[in-house]
Structure 1
Amino acid sequence: MTSGPGTPVRVGVFGLLGSGNLGNDGSLEAVLGYLRAEHPDAVVDALCGGPEAVAARYRIPATRLHWYRGEYRTASRAGALAGKGLGKLVDAFRTAAWVRRHDVVIVPGMGVLEATLPLRPWGFPYALFLLCASGRLLRTRVALVGVGADAIADRPTRALVARSARLASYRSYRDGLSRDAMRAMGVDTSRDGVYPDLAFALPAPQASARPGPVCVGVMDFHGGNDDRARAEEIHRRYLDGTTRFVRALVDEGRTVRLLTGDACDAPVAAAILEAVDSPLVTAAQAGSLADLMRETAAAGTVVATRYHNLICALKVGTPTLALSYAAKSDALMERMGLGTYRHPAREIDAGRLMEQFRELEKHSAELRRTLTGRNLTVTRQLRCQFDDLTKALFPTADHAHTTREAP
């Protein structure tokens, strides 16, 4: 579909949006902010996981990503299996019909090219492939903007992800490791840019000048896609280690605020609250990245697992220690100058973690200055991302598409 002269550009946004993951929704919010500021005449709608939530929160029309509503539930009965199978066929036609109505489709951030968490190839990887294939067939530009990628061992998942990336009209990544991973999977990345995560473009509250609680970000962590056989063991070790750390903080009289980043994290926070059983420990009820930023801005220090919990804390300039579960967390901490402050989420040693935490607090003032400088750099780099996106997706007579790496 091509808009004629004077016709507003129709832009679609695509992904697991509105489904309870605050990081995904934060990436969407950043892209909508860009579109409303730089392309206010664009007509925007979404094909997404939670259309009701997206329509209510962002005031754009939204359509359900999957025809079959039980797509992400485990199917064991014949009826559910048949529903999923039929859904794959129906979704091929639904996706193509939706893509056809647009000039541009944007996949805003998210780890759409990775499998660092458990993932089935015929779930979201298949949906992404349908999107990118429909875009190529119908000549609609599909842009993967600031996305995450990682090496994928599972062959069907890897094939779908790599093919989707090749079919996209535009690609940029949230870190160099993501671009390297796609290159290793056979994708030509020579014109693909690397920029900070889109969530850094969101407005941030001012950090508190007074000592605040220790924010501990928890996650329903069961390892990655290749850890399915050990998933429950990994989860038990993660929960036990995190609980021991929180209890040690409480034993020292510290106030602890538990943070989540996805609806599935709530049982983990509840388990820690029950196990520690102290009025010094409370859990935040965050409904957006803005809420998480306010929590981390009020904190004295943050120790967190989920990737976008880390982003929120780093964005507001609060000294942060990562319970790292994937290379993307390591890359983020290095980018922001806190690469020393990492601890493996799979092997939490509460004693060693407490030592690292004390070291973090010891250098708190210095780290706050470091984060102030790094955030200024990140802001400049994201301006480059959005300029590059405009040149690629909204071309005019004097715009040539020249992708560059963020300075």
Structure 2
Amino acid sequence: MTAARVGLFGLLGSGNLGNDGSLEAVLGYLRAAHPDAAVDALCGGPETVTARYAIPATRLHWYRGEYRTASRAGAIAGKGLGKVVDAFRTAAWVRRHDVVIVPGMGVLEATLPLRPWGFPYSLFLLCASGRLLGTRVALVGVGAAPIGNRATRTLVRWSARLAAYRSYRDAPSRDAMRAMGVDTARDEVYPDLAFALPAPRGSAPPRPPGRPGAVCVGVMAFHGGDDDRARAAEIHRRYLDGTTRFVRALAADGRPVRLLTGDACDAPVVAAILDAVDSPLVTAAETASLADLMKETAAADTVVATRYHNLVCALKTGTPTLALSYAAKSDALMDRMGLAAYCHPARDVDADRLLGQFRELERRSAELRQTLTERNRTAEGQLQDQFAQLTAALFPTTTPARAQIRQETP
């Protein structure tokens, strides 16, 4: 028996709590089902990943200014050289592993601004290296969406084709990849990996009789998708104005409001809302993980949120939730959990209409909590099936078996 060498790949440890939650879920699976596996990561924030999850980690990009705008000749040259160096670095890292897992994340979509030479290029290098070197690359519970930019779409399509295993977090993701020309006949759909994380223990602290319950409002530095760059400022202004009016209305009704984020870039939105509303009832939560987010949402009466994994955390804790939806993934998630009627477009936040949906959601609170309990139970069982399938597909039990699988990789 030989311990498997498993690599984890993605924009992990970079400040996005949803990405790190997906990593945590897969690590939990590996430690339970394959405790002898040697695990490390190639990721965006290696120091954070090593400190938080106790696994070795390597920086994803050779050039440290990869995600800064390059306006000077030196920076442009550094980025260009980095693309060449990363091709060799990625291949060398992949070669050291039997299996590489890309845990969740929207790695096959461009619902937020994205350049083809950024993460899509990195993912292509990973999948191409895996195919060339005989290392099985698995895209596990990932998100996908139609992509307008031709270069980005080409890189994403070939990344998916070259992967040895694919599963998706919703049916629209699988449909999007099929529409891009990927054979999805053997690809399965499972709930988002974060539903495998443990829910917070205990119940919300009791509040004095007659005191209204708290509302968590998850905000986002939302500027539209990759095809909306020309209108990004306008989209953001409309989102911020509508969300601010909604929070102000809640505070005027005497409702305590907790502002939640899911990425470090969301902080300016929180600051803008706090400054505009200026009420002691409106406070900002400090969250460093999906576990922290789940504690906040579990203590709330109701959640209204934009970021996908803010929604996941609220639904996971069984809290009635309204989505400020910016992509099909949010609508699909709400439908899976029985709350399809409670979606509101993030691109056109109408505070009055949103308040109407919010009040209807609260009137049905007891009924919806029961629905969420049942849907969460189903999701947990489906993810156990996902992990069992991963074990069967990716992890040989002997060294000869591993060699045979490498030879049979198409």
Bucket of the pairwise TM-score, normalised by the shorter protein: over 0.9
Match of 1:352 in 2: 353
Matches within 5 A, 1:2-401: 6-206=1-201, 207-208=203-204, 210=206, 212-396=213-397
Q: Which moves more between the two structures, 114-123 or 70-79? A: 70-79
Q: How far apart are residue 210 of structure 1 and its match?
A: 4.3
Q: Deviations over 1:207-236 (max 9, x none)?
A: 537464100000000000000000000000
Q: How far apart are residue 51 of structure 1 and its match?
A: 0.2
In 2: Cα distance, 1:52 partner to 1:209 partner: 35
- Secondary structure of the residue aligned to 2:35 is coil
In 2: Cα distance, 1:210 partner to 1:159 partner: 53
In 1: Cα distance, 2:37 partner to 2:297 partner: 34
Structure 2, unaligned runs of 5 or more: 208-212, 406-410
Contact 2:2 2:397 in 1 (8 A): no
Q: How far apart are residue 35 of structure 1 and its match?
A: 0.2
In 2: Cα distance, 1:117 partner to 1:255 partner: 30
Q: How far apart are residue 7 of structure 1 and its match?
A: 2.4
Q: How far apart are residue 205 of structure 1 and its match?
A: 1.3
Q: Deviations over 1:81-115 (max 9, x none)?
A: 00000000000000000000000000000000000
In 2: Cα distance, 1:153 partner to 1:89 partner: 26
Q: Deviations over 1:230-265 (max 9, x none)?
A: 000000000000000000001111100000000000
In 1: Cα distance, 2:15 partner to 2:194 partner: 16
Contact 2:294 2:317 in 1 (8 A): yes
In 2: Cα distance, 1:396 partner to 1:60 partner: 23
In 1: Cα distance, 2:188 partner to 2:40 partner: 26
In 1: Cα distance, 2:291 partner to 2:152 partner: 33
In 2: Cα distance, 1:228 partner to 1:352 partner: 27
- Secondary structure of the residue aligned to 1:99 is helix
Match of 1:405 in 2: none
Q: How far apart are residue 396 of structure 1 and its match?
A: 4.6
- Secondary structure of the residue aligned to 2:303 is strand
Q: Which moves more between the two structures, 227-236 or 387-396? A: 387-396
In 2: Cα distance, 1:393 partner to 1:158 partner: 27
Q: How far apart are residue 69 of structure 1 and its match?
A: 0.7
Q: May I ask how many residue pairs the two structures share in their alignment?
A: 395
Which amino acid is 1:21 matched to?
Answer: N
Moved over 3 A (4+): 209-212, 395-398
In 2: Cα distance, 1:227 partner to 1:209 partner: 43
Q: How far apart are residue 30 of structure 1 and its match?
A: 0.2
In 2: Cα distance, 1:123 partner to 1:308 partner: 22
In 2: Cα distance, 1:174 partner to 1:254 partner: 34
Q: How far apart are residue 23 of structure 1 and its match?
A: 0.1
Contact 2:244 2:273 in 1 (8 A): yes
Which amino acid is 1:246 matched to?
Answer: V
Q: Deviations over 1:149-176 (max 9, x none)?
A: 0010110000000000000000000000
Q: TM-score, normalised by structure 2?
A: 0.95
Which amino acid is 1:387 matched to?
Answer: A
Contact 2:190 2:383 in 1 (8 A): yes
Q: How far apart are residue 8 of structure 1 and its match?
A: 1.3
Q: Which moves more between the two structures, 201-210 or 213-222? A: 201-210
Q: How far apart are residue 74 of structure 1 and its match?
A: 1.1
In 2: Cα distance, 1:12 partner to 1:61 partner: 10
In 1: Cα distance, 2:196 partner to 2:381 partner: 10
Percent of aligned positions with the same letter in both sequences?
81
In 1: Cα distance, 2:3 partner to 2:254 partner: 58
Which amino acid is 1:232 matched to?
Answer: A
- Secondary structure of the residue aligned to 2:184 is coil
Which amino acid is 2:297 matched to?
Answer: T
The CA RMSD over aligned residues, in Å, is: 1.4
